[in-house]
Amino acid sequence: GDSVTQMEGPVTLSEEAFLTINCTYTATGYPSLFWYVQYPGEGLQLLLKATKADDKGSNKGFEATYRKETTSFHLEKGSVQVSDSAVYFCALTHMAGNNRKLIWGLGTSLAVNP
């Protein structure tokens, strides 16, 4: 079945460091890919998305490129801030047919120190 694998956390970085959180997937067809962020004690917020191969999603300085050849959607940010400390979830869903559930990774916790 479809699945999403994220790198295990916690990831700890100093402010202004470069961030990469790896996400790979297994899916049939052509899924859409998402990154969500969860700040402490809150629900999830959509961070960015990509709907087809080679699309790049971007938001708030974060970027991820849909790589079909490597089945990956790695999240990157050039310079993290303390306010980026949160849990990041990678997810996929199919855009067609009756199956419209999201398949979730387990989440990667990021802590950014000043």
Interface ranges with another protein (CB under 8 A): 32, 34, 36, 41-46, 49, 89, 93-96, 100-102, 104-107
Minimum Å gap between C-beta 6 and another protein is 9
Minimum Å gap between C-beta 80 and another protein is 22
Torsion angle in degrees (nearest 10) through CA of 61, 77, 102, 6: -170
Minimum Å gap between C-beta 55 and another protein is 14
Closer by beta carbon to another protein, 73 or else 89: 89
Q: Is 8 exposed, middle or buried (0-12, 13-18, 19+ CB in 10 A)?
A: exposed
Closer by beta carbon to another protein, 79 or else 95: 95
Those residues whose C-beta lies under 8 Å from the C-beta of residue 73, and which sit 6 or more positions away, are 23, 24, 25, 33, 35, 50, 64, 65, 66, 67, 90
Closer by beta carbon to another protein, 17 or else 24: 24
